[in-house]
Structure 1
Amino acid sequence: MYDRDKAVSENLGLVHSCAKRFRGRGIEYDDLFQAGCVGLIKAIDNFDESRGLKLSTYAVPVILGEIKGLFRDGGAVKISRGLKELSLKATREAARFLKENGREPQISELAHILGVEPEQATEALNASRLPVSLTADEENGSGQLDIPTDSPDEKLTEVISLHDEIKSLEPNDRNLILLRFFKNKTQSETAKELGMTQVQVSRREKKLLIYLRERLI
């Protein structure tokens, strides 16, 4: 059983990290942070360590869900034309990268492709996920967009399902996925650790990603 006060204190940085994603979008930062703290407490109270997840992994979707709820209940968000254009470019480049490499780009990789800072790339990706409102005002160079409000429970289910699917893989395949996507190793570094060639890692990685996607759909 977690000590709630201690767990909250140790994970406030996680709340700040989540709240900062929505800074400058029409709601005061203190309100974003407060909602995130509510999400953190909910996550701590419902966390089941036996699932094999870290508290931080479990908590992030719940924290984000509470913060997004502010936008659902309180209105919409304005974004600039420049951000919308960068968002469209980010979406195109991310799709191209996925097609060529069999995986989604890391934020640092996407930022390099776009020629922007990682923070800007993250903001562009977040904006690309916002459904455009019918009241968007193109004449004034900005659009009104609603923050998506996916259920935190759905996100948690996705995380837990992915974790379970990875655990069910053969040891070598599981290590490949862990090295590539959780430890951010390059294909060459992964090949060296697993006693494979870079080409073998690339081919196996693509097959595993397809398999995991099919299992999770």
Structure 2
Amino acid sequence: MTRDSYDDIEPLLKELAIAVERRDPAQAELRELAIGRCLPLAEHIARKFSGRGEPYEDLLQVARLGLVVSIDRFDVNRGSRFLSFAVPTIMGEVRRYFRDSTWAVRVPRRIKEIQLRLGGTIEQLAQRLGRMPNARELAEELGVDRAEVTQAMLAANAYQSSSLDAAAPDGGENAPLSLLDALGEDEPNYELVEQYMAVRPHLAQLPDRERQVLVMRFFDGKTQAQIAAQLGVSQMHISRILSRTLTGLRTAALED
């Protein structure tokens, strides 16, 4: 098995620490040697974070900065291995880069941190539940407030932005249009679809009478008076059923 050049870096770092303590002029050369030997570690960590929308060269620069910080802060007297200190330090620098430097608009730090945890949590819960988790379930899994989860999900839209004047991709021979020219118009029915998808799970949980009244009113197009006559109750009773049911559905949908 091949060993990396930083596997036995501790003796060199100890020599560097002694040189720093004695203000030995050789400390600069020793520091450069230690950094050079550990560069593959920074490259390995940068590759782990590639493919997330940021150039590999930028990630590598941040990882190398984290490596330098690790070498400068490592305490050889504690007897621990350099890797156990360097890896989380370098990864922390890269994560901070994603958190602080790649957002198109200002987002609170806590919301950024929750947003970075959402992806893996959604995947785990989806596998466990057999469906997409809602905001309440995500909040319980992460141990945070449901409102913070909602803000983090919305904050994902602020991660990167594109200029409306930028050219949109075109696979043909036409001159490329700007994103602004390529944008379509708002489809009013999209909002209706979203509302239906939010309410649909709760419709199945309604008592038979309430669900029947909703179907007759909004799917069959009957008036309250017609529904009352068909069911043998007063119009006021139908009005109360509709008001109570719609309020309950709205509350349940907003909670999700």
Bucket of the pairwise TM-score, normalised by the shorter protein: 0.3 to 0.5
Pair member with larger Rg = 2
TM-score by length of 1: 0.38
